[in-house]
Structure 1
Amino acid sequence: MAKRTSHPAGTPSYVDIGSPDPTATAAFYGALFGWTVNDLGPDAGGYAMAQIDGDDVAGIGPQQAPGPPYWTTYISVDNVDDTAKKVEASGGSVLAPAMDVFDAGRMAVFMDPNGAAFAGWQPKESIGADRVNEHGALCWNELNTRNLDAAKAFYTDVFGWSWSDNSEYGEFKVGDRGVGGAMPMGDNHPPEVPEHWLVYFAVDDINEAVAKVKELGGTTMTEPFEAVGVGQMAVALDPHQAAFAVIQLNEPGD
């Protein structure tokens, strides 16, 4: 079990998805990961919280924009209004200005200069995900980009990340801890696929997880393969075509 009571600023701390059918999406991921999904009531506009043993792990809500649904990565910040200024000063844009989410926290939605959407989360009563790095929980967030150097410069300016010295894959760090990655998009990504953040969920058994995705009406973009030194993973689409990854880690996360 990897429970959290806080996420350092600059760390991806939460994910949610806007779905054209939140009830069906909750049923799919609930069956896949063992989530209990609780509607937060009419004041929350149909938003629901996915939990494992009462701990928050992800959110599911109605889709707000046209096009295929997608998972949004939230990055923890000390002051989301200041983050919005840094995003714009560094060439990004603000898609949704800073707003309070009841007493849970304050958020804004951004787009980096290359077109990848992400969000900032300023925690108050909610830190974001209470559990990470275990079955059914968030364990990695990976930017897929066509301009890795530009992405590194932008996110360093905004969040102060340091990066591993690798031209093929960028691991970003908060202090000495690797908290996510950035990968160049190659020929396997059609031109119409936008730059995006891919969300990884940990699973106990990759083959069982992939079989369950298919059983529940999802599809796989890859069959299980070795992420060298990390574990066995696969990239999948849920029944509404939202992409996500599942990974059986070689070593449990802390």
Structure 2
Amino acid sequence: MKITTPTVGAPCWVQLSTVDPVAAKSFYAELFGWRVEDDPRPEAGGYATFLLGEAPVAGLTPLQQPEQPTSWSVSFATTDADASAAKVSAAGGRVLLEPSEVFDLGRFAVVADPAGAVFSLWQPRSFNGQALADEAGSLGWVELTTRAVHQSKEFYPRVFGWSVTVGEMYTQWGIDGRDFGGMADMADQFPADAPPYWMPYFAVADVDRTAERAAALGASVLLPPTDVPDGPRLAVLKDQQGAVFGIHVTEPTP
């Protein structure tokens, strides 16, 4: 069973930081049918929200630092961003952006695990995060790709209380018997200097058609549509600005 409702410790929001917001808005609107809602407040720094119908499903922001890469990031829900940031530090991670208020929406922090994989903490106030999950066009899964597999199995349960289910080929993260993500070993499949990272997978009705559409819109297909043993059909894509994300087929409703 997967987590599809707001849950403390689970993914609650994904955000694209990009060098070309205009192009990115057009690409994802065409690919997933998202509608773009720009925040007009100057202090919002050009932030925009992607919506599916009226439901917020992801965010977009221009790059905030010259050295910042174009990428997707994952936020996990917490009842106390300050306490969770302290847990990250105590478990060997780093706090990159101290907890701070985001208008009346919530409290936000950016942190990294001991190996350097960056993720965010979100303490909701008026905004809980994504309003849909595991439906076509919304977040369906998150994945940590890292060389520090054993270290990660200790770090994340310590910070969030996650369960760890280790299979022959893959490790899955969960809360109270429900899964929301997994972990892949970088091993020798990546360049030696490639950093670890969190990546979102968006659910789609048809992986092959979505991958084909993405390529027609200028994206690169890093992993062609593939059937995973005991898992869904999926693909990994990279948009024209360099942000990597996955897609997988929606699971049928029980």
Q: What CA RMSD, in Å, does the superposition of the two structures yield over aligned residues?
A: 1.7
1:107-122 → structure 2 map (5 Å cutoff): 107-122=108-123
| Equivalences for residues 34-113 of structure 1 within 5 A | 34-41=33-40, 42-65=42-65, 66-113=67-114
Aligned residues of 1:37 and 1:48 also touching (Cα < 8 A): yes
| Displacement of 1:162 | 1.2
For 1:17 and 1:75, locate their aligned partners in 2 and report how far apart those are by CA, in whole Å. Answer: 15
Residue type of the alignment partner of 2:53: D
Is 1:28–2:27 an aligned residue pair?
yes
Q: What is the distance in 2 between the residues matched to 1:120 and 1:145?
A: 19
Q: Deviations over 1:115-142 (max 9, x none)?
A: 1000001111111100111111100000
- Please state whether the residue corresponding to 2:24 is helix, strand or coil: helix
For normalisation by structure 1, the TM-score amounts to 0.94
Q: SS at 2:133's partner residue?
A: coil
Task: Give the AA of the match of 1:58.
Answer: A
Does the CA-based 8 Å contact 2:201-2:246 persist in structure 1? yes
The 5 Å alignment of 1:1-254 reads 7-41=6-40, 42-65=42-65, 66-166=67-167, 168-249=169-250, 251-252=251-252
What is the deviation of 1:68? 2.9
Q: Which moved more, 1:129-138 or 1:161-170?
A: 161-170
Give the Cα–Cα distance (whole angstroms) in 2 for the partners of residues 253 and 151 of structure 1. 32
Q: Which blocks of at least 5 consecutive residues in structure 2 are unaligned? A: none
Question: What CA distance in whole angstroms lies between the structure 1 residues aligned with 2:151 and 2:168?
Answer: 12
Please identify runs of 4+ aligned residues in structure 1 that moved more than 4 A: none
Closer, same or farther in 2 for the Cα pair 1:61/1:253, shift >3 Å? farther
Residue-by-residue CA offset, 1:17-65 (whole Å, 9 max, x unaligned): 1111111111111110000011011231100000001110000110123
Determine if contact 2:19/2:70 at 8 Å carries over to the other structure: yes
Q: Counterpart amino acid of 1:133?
A: D
Q: CA deviation at 1:230?
A: 2.6
Equivalenced residue count is 251
- Please say if residues 134 and 253 of structure 1, whose CA atoms lie closer than 8 Å, have aligned partners that are also in contact: no
1:67 offset after TM fit, Å? Answer: 4.5
Give distance in 2, aligned partners of 1:52 and 1:241. 23
Q: Mean alpha-carbon deviation: is it higher for 163-172 or for 104-113? A: 163-172
Does structure 2 conserve the Cα–Cα contact (< 8 Å) formed by 1:69 and 1:241? yes
Shift of 1:174: 0.8
Q: What is the DSSP-based 3-state SS (H/G/I as helix, E as strand, rest coil) of the residue aligned with 2:241? A: coil
Q: Determine the C-alpha separation between the residues in 2 that align with 1:153 and 1:7.
A: 24
Counterpart CA distance in 2 for 1:192 and 1:97 is 27
Taking the aligned partners of 1:188 and 1:124, their CA distance within structure 2 comes to: 41
Work out the CA distance in 1 between the residues paired with 2:234 and 2:104: 36
Q: Secondary structure at the match of 1:151?
A: helix
CA distance in 1, matches of 2:232, 2:78: 29
Q: Tell me the CA shift for residue 3 of structure 1.
A: 11
- Structure 1 gap ranges (5+): none
> Counterparts of 1:59 and 1:235 in 2: how far apart (Å)?
20
